[in-house]
Amino acid sequence: MKKTTLLACLAILLIPIAASAYSVRKGDSIYVPKGEVVQGNLYAAGSNLTIEGKVTGDVICVGQTVNITGEVAGDVICGAQSINVSGKIGGSLRAAGNSINLNGQVSRNAMVFGATVVTSASSTVGWDFLTYAGALDLRGAIGRDLSGGGSKANLAGPIGGNVKLDFGGKNKNDQPLTIAGTAKINGSLTYAATNNANIETGAAIKGQTVHNLPKVTASKTSLPNSGWLWGELIAIFSALIIGLVLISFWKEYILKITDLMLNKIGSSFGWGILALLLTPIIIIILLITIIGIPLSLILLALWLIALYVSKILVGILVGRSLLTNLWQKQKDSLILAMIIGTIISYIIFAIPFIGSFVALLAMLWGLGGIILALKK
């Protein structure tokens, strides 16, 4: 019980949550106009999200296009195809998408993953900037350290601390790193790449410049490296985004499924085992027949989706149980339950050896719950 309580407290500290007030919005287009003030956290799921007003808490969103031109007092945690921030964020920015553009101010840290990441000359990040991107173009100011990696990077703005980037051994760019003449690095520059960086005339690097060759694959006995850690963080972040979508659009079904999972634990595991073992056999049989190929592909896609969602359902159930027993005032907050439970579950899933077994049990439990709900 002590360990469970400790994990619950850790989960609450890991992600900022304003328990007093929040707003949930969904739809094709979500708009917070100028002059509107959203009290507390804003949870949004839709094709387009535009914030021109003010949010006094955090913004947690998922969609196709996200535009923030107003003010967010807390953190912004978003996953979308395109994310554009030209307003002010009082906390930290955590974003994942295809295209991410920062033209505004982030008071604390920025953690960004995208195919293209661009910061304009007018943008600022108050603390540290962590990014992994296919194409990185940083022209704004960074208060402290810059770290991460990707395929290609151009640094053209002031950086208050150290720079540490890894471009990998399979990078095909002749010069993956360019330090423009306008760049001012107040600390050291350390980068891992096959080729030397292009440091233009006028660039200022106060500390030493260290060029490392890409590391060889670590041995199996080595401790988990930073790549493993960031992979787990991305997995948690992705699960939170998917969980938000599930709750936003299918809240009643999620409640129904998790209730069935809790009330019929044995049946859930039984149906989960059958679905896990029989579905591939059915898919193979359908593939043998020419007519059944389209159906087999559809069934395969649905099966894979169900396997992924099943672990998130277990996380929601864990969160609901913790809130019911430890935080009665918030026991009806499904979003809070999803956040806490998913973080705790995925931390346990990441534990070597034991985590894989627990993840398998969670998948069977959640998968069985889905089957029971479909039967009804």
Per-10-residue mean pLDDT of the chain, 376 residues long, equals: 38 42 78 94 83 93 87 88 94 88 96 90 96 91 93 94 85 79 96 90 94 66 51 76 79 86 85 82 75 78 84 88 80 79 85 82 87 81
What 3-state DSSP class applies to 121? coil
Please name which of 164, 89, 75, 99 lies closest in space to residue 123, comparing C-alpha atoms. 89
Report helix, strand or coil for 81: strand
Q: Which DSSP helix (H) or strand (E) runs through 325?
A: helix 293-326
Sheet of 37-38: strand order equals 37-38, 54-55, 71-72, 88-89, 105-106, 124-125, 141-142, 158-159, 184-185, 204-205
- Judged on CB neighbours under 10 Å (0-12, 13-18, 19+), 238 is middle
At residue 217, the pLDDT reads 52
Alpha helices in 64-162 (DSSP H): none
Q: What is the pLDDT of residue 6?
A: 36
Tell me the C-alpha distance between 272 and 266, whole Å. Answer: 10
Angle at 197 between CA 193 and CA 201, to 5 degrees: 170
The pLDDT assigned to 329 comes to: 76
DSSP letter (8 states) at residue 332: T
CA dihedral for 264, 266, 271, 273, sign (positive or negative): positive
pLDDT for the residue 39: 92
How far from chain centre, in Å, is Cα 376?
Answer: 33
Residue listed under structure tokens 């995208």: 114
Determine the Cα–Cα distance for residues 196 and 157; give it in Å rounded to an integer: 20
- Strand pairing of 198-199 and 54-55? unpaired
Can you say whether residue 222 is alpha, beta or left, with left for phi > 0 and alpha for psi between -120 and 50 degrees?
Answer: beta
Cβ distance 152 to 172 under 8 Å?
no
The predicted structure's pLDDT at residue 231: 67
DSSP bridge pairs for 105 = 88, 124
Structural domain boundaries of the chain?
109-216, 226-375
Torsion-angle region of residue 168: left (phi > 0), alpha (psi -120 to 50) or beta?
left
Q: What is the pLDDT of residue 372?
A: 85
CA dist list (Å): 217 to 134, 149, 171, 211, 214: 21, 17, 15, 18, 9
Q: 10 Å Cβ neighbour count for 220?
A: 5
With both helix axes pointing from N to C terminus, report the angle between 293-326 and 2-14 in degrees, rounded to the nearest 10.
Answer: 110
Distance CA 95, CA 149 (A): 16
- The pLDDT assigned to 15 comes to 44
* Cβ–Cβ < 8 Å for 181, 203: yes
State how far Cα 255 lies from the chain centre: 24
Report the distance separating Cα 102 and Cα 94, nearest Å.
Answer: 12
Which H or E run contains 371? helix 354-375
Tell me the backbone φ, ψ of residue 37, rounded to 5 degrees.
-120, 120
Kindly report whether the global pTM for this prediction surpasses the value 0.75.
Answer: no
| Cβ atoms 26, 335 nearer than 8 A | no
